[in-house]
Amino acid sequence: MSRTGKIYGINGPVIYIKGQTDFKMSEMVYVGKENLVGEVISLTKNRTTIQVYEETTGLKPGEIVTATGDAVSVTLGPGIIHNIFDGIQRPLEEIARESGKYISRGVNVESLDIHRKWDTHMVIEEGQEVYPGTIIAEVPETKSIVHKSMIPPNIEGIVRSVVPDGQYTVTDTVAVVESPDGQTHEIKLAQKWPIRIPRPTHNRYAANTPLVTGQRILDTLFPIAKGGTAAIPGGFGTGKTMTQHQVAKWSDADIVIYIGCGERGNEMTEVLEDFSKLIDPKSGNLLMERTALIANTSNMPVAAREASIYTGITLAEYYRDMGYDVAIMADSTSRWAEALRELSGRLEEMPAEEGFPAYLASKLSAFYERAGMMQNLNGTEGSVSIIGAVSPQGGDFSEPVTQNTKRFVRCFWGLDKALAYARHFPAINWNNSYSEYTEDLSPWFREHVSPKFLSDRSQIVAILNQETSLMEIVKLIGSDVLPDDQKLILEIARVIRLGFLQQNAFHKEDTCVPMEKQFLMMETILYLNERAQDLISKGMPMSVLKEDKIFEKIIAIKYDVANNELEKFQEYRDTIDTFYDNVMERNG
């Protein structure tokens, strides 16, 4: 029995130690001369199995494996926001400074800068009783975010000493707490937490506020709540990453954690460059000031890819504990599932569907259940919303990752190849997508947008559904033979598709649209529908209605009306009235 072991076998990222060891499950270990980071994933009497988070080339049997005593953890403290980490929270900037343009092995860097001094304002006093989660200090972490350091969840007691406000590093002791059993604990600005264990909370609330993303099809048709979960499945090239980028940029979350899990290196560079230039509409500061990136690109070691998702969610939970609304973009959960499969294969476990391990579903559900609107231990309210991209094999939604994800998320934004081919973006298919939050959020919409919002929304949905069934006929016999009222439905549906659902991410005004404007756009389209129906019922043919190019004018609203000149919508109402009168006059 010992706290070290000798490597017996090596197979890709998995290594074995022969005989019994004193290692613990999920414990972090250092492997070999280069001190590669690893994690214990299975223990038997004869064999300890370890997954290594770095390339294992060059390892030899007989090299020493040392246990660290801690589970694989992240360091939580100021310096997380505006940073970019790899899957096990090593800052990539630091790694670049240490090892150059490539990520070499065994780089030993601190997760957070331990030399940087933070402007600290202490909010506790000597003699005060503190509980798990009590906020002890406030640090302006970035221009947008005030970091609130907390008592770790396993400590409570009486504050015996506090440092005065001033400049401290994350490793300085800022308070000493004596717990009821007489032990003293040194409290620092940073704390550690194991990534596979959810941070404790008091209570879970039902969803009641939407995460407003500025994307019309999401906010209006398939809204996600703060603390909600959504999946974006789609084959390659359908715009998963684009949708994630849009939500990361424009959603009204306080903090965004962007996890690039097994995706492209250039994409992470793009996020980094873009977010360092774009302004967050909510705070007026740069987007990066509220963003943390986790980049474990597809060519980085596969075990760290598996860990990156947990690292991301633990960071998110930590900021939730401070009372922030955090949104996680996980791009892509399929890569994570594939990492599970790869490791499971190396462990020679019995595969279930398509080679995925049987525990895929339980791992997925455990991940998505870490989202939620919570009452934290310190009484504040915060939320973690998860938006996970899914990359189904061959674009086929019946594969295990998509199907299992569907069971655990309440928003499903299904991307469609045909829409993407026609460059209709966001290519979210309105027929097979859904949101279970619409009900829960209806009071909010009634109160904050308009009492008419939900009825407008259902009318829009109804028109789109009618179009879908009419298209079945059109595909067989063409649209010319349809009666005029059905032609109108097709025309209005076209206006909805092009003028409302389709949104241009590269257009200054159209990239992010406030709820107010989304509602007025719906109103205008429906008003046009109402007046046009009236004309049709008076016997006017569709060809006459089309003469005035009114439909094109309404489609162009998204570009022609800026987000801050909503009074213009009255003019469009007048235009529709004029159109009605004109048609009546000419043909009446």
Partner 1 sequence: MAIEYLGLSEINGPLVVLEGVKDAAYEEIVEFRMDDGTRKIGRIIEIYEEKAVIQVFEGTDNMSLVNTHTRLTGRPMEASLSPEILGRTFNGIGQPIDGLGDIQPEMKVNINGLPLNPVSREYPRNYINTGISAIDGLTTLIRGQKLPIFSGNGLPHDKLAAQIVQQASLGENSDEEFAIVFAAMGVKYDVAEFFRRTFEESGVSDHVVMYLNLANDPVVERLITPRMALTAAEYLAFEKGMHILVILTDITSFCEAMREVSSSKGEIPSRKGYPGYLYSELATLYERAGIVSGGTGSVTQIPILTMPNDDITHPIPDLTGYITEGQIVLDRPLFGQGIYPPINVLPSLSRLMKDGIGEGYTREDHQALANQLFSCYAKVGDARALASVIGEDELSPLDKQYLKFGKAFETSFVGQGETENRSIIETLNKGWELLSMIPREELDRIDTKLLEKYYTSASEVI
Comparing CB distances to partner 1, the nearer of 346 and 573 is: 346
Judge whether 561 and 569 are in contact, CB under 8 Å.
yes
Comparing CB distances to partner 1, the nearer of 206 and 556 is: 556
Which three-class secondary structure state does DSSP give residue 279? strand
Pairing of strands 129-130, 157-162: antiparallel
Stretch that binds partner 1, among 8-16, 37-45, 65-73, 176-184 (CB under 8 A): 8-16
Spatial separation of the C-alpha atoms in residues 282 and 272, rounded to whole Å: 19
- Tell me, residue by residue from 469 to 488, as one string, x for binding to partner 1 by CB under 8 A and - for no binding: -----xxxxxxx--------
Residue 559 sits in the site that holds partner 1 (CB under 8 A): yes
Spatial separation of the C-alpha atoms in residues 170 and 165, rounded to whole Å: 14
Residue 93 sits in the site that holds partner 1 (CB under 8 A): yes
Spatial separation of the C-alpha atoms in residues 268 and 263, rounded to whole Å: 8
Stretch that binds partner 1, among 5-13, 34-42, 116-124, 313-321 (CB under 8 A): 5-13
Residue 552 sits in the site that holds partner 1 (CB under 8 A): yes
Residue 164 sits in the site that holds partner 1 (CB under 8 A): no
What does the chain come to in residues?
Answer: 588
Comparing CB distances to partner 1, the nearer of 305 and 410 is: 305
The only residue of 36, 65, 313, 555 in contact with partner 1, by rule CB under 8 A: 555
Q: For residue 315, how many C-alpha atoms fall within 13 Å in the half-sphere facing its CB? A: 37
Stretch that binds partner 1, among 175-183, 229-237, 369-377, 572-580 (CB under 8 A): 229-237
Residue 291 sits in the site that holds partner 1 (CB under 8 A): no
Count of residues in contact with partner 1, rule CB under 8 A: 83
Residue 269 sits in the site that holds partner 1 (CB under 8 A): yes
Q: DSSP string covering 131-197, please?
A: -TT-EEEEEE-SSS-EEEEE--TT--EEEEEEPPSEEE-TTSEEEEEE-TTS-EEEEES-EEEETTS
Residue 16 sits in the site that holds partner 1 (CB under 8 A): yes
Residue 394 sits in the site that holds partner 1 (CB under 8 A): yes
Strand pairing partners for 210?
A: 225
The only residue of 2, 19, 69, 104 in contact with partner 1, by rule CB under 8 A: 104
Comparing CB distances to partner 1, the nearer of 274 and 436 is: 274
Burial, 466: exposed, middle or buried (Cβ in 10 Å; 0-12, 13-18, 19+)?
middle
Comparing CB distances to partner 1, the nearer of 155 and 340 is: 340
Burial, 248: exposed, middle or buried (Cβ in 10 Å; 0-12, 13-18, 19+)?
buried
Residue 96 sits in the site that holds partner 1 (CB under 8 A): yes
Comparing CB distances to partner 1, the nearer of 265 and 541 is: 265
Judge whether 373 and 206 are in contact, CB under 8 Å.
yes
Query: What is the torsion angle, in degrees rounded to the nearest 10, for the CA atoms of residue 100, residue 102, residue 107 and residue 108?
Result: 60
Residue 431 sits in the site that holds partner 1 (CB under 8 A): no
The only residue of 40, 65, 80, 84 in contact with partner 1, by rule CB under 8 A: 84
The only residue of 31, 67, 103, 374 in contact with partner 1, by rule CB under 8 A: 103
Stretch that binds partner 1, among 131-139, 375-383, 401-409, 549-557 (CB under 8 A): 549-557
Distances (CA, A) of 581 to 53, 524, 525, 541: 71, 17, 18, 15
Stretch that binds partner 1, among 95-103, 172-180, 189-197, 447-455 (CB under 8 A): 95-103
Distances (CA, A) of 102 to 90, 91, 300, 455, 574: 14, 14, 11, 55, 62
Residue 92 sits in the site that holds partner 1 (CB under 8 A): yes
Minimum separation from the CB atom of position 544 to partner 1 (A): 13
Minimum separation from the CB atom of position 563 to partner 1 (A): 17
The only residue of 70, 119, 129, 354 in contact with partner 1, by rule CB under 8 A: 354
Minimum separation from the CB atom of position 22 to partner 1 (A): 21
Comparing CB distances to partner 1, the nearer of 299 and 468 is: 299
Task: State the amino acid at position 286 in one-letter form.
Answer: L
Instruction: Look at the block and give the residue holding tokens 């003293």.
Output: 184
Spatial separation of the C-alpha atoms in residues 261 and 311, rounded to whole Å: 11
Minimum separation from the CB atom of position 227 to partner 1 (A): 30
Minimum separation from the CB atom of position 208 to partner 1 (A): 36
The only residue of 119, 236, 468, 562 in contact with partner 1, by rule CB under 8 A: 236
Residue 264 sits in the site that holds partner 1 (CB under 8 A): yes
| Token pair of 558 as six digits | 């998204």
Residue 348 sits in the site that holds partner 1 (CB under 8 A): yes
Judge whether 367 and 313 are in contact, CB under 8 Å.
yes
Minimum separation from the CB atom of position 316 to partner 1 (A): 20
- Tell me, residue by residue from 508 to 547, as one string, x for binding to partner 1 by CB under 8 A and - for no binding: ----------------------------------------
Residue 12 sits in the site that holds partner 1 (CB under 8 A): yes
Spatial separation of the C-alpha atoms in residues 214 and 115, rounded to whole Å: 39
CA dihedral sign, ordered 3, 5, 11, 12: positive
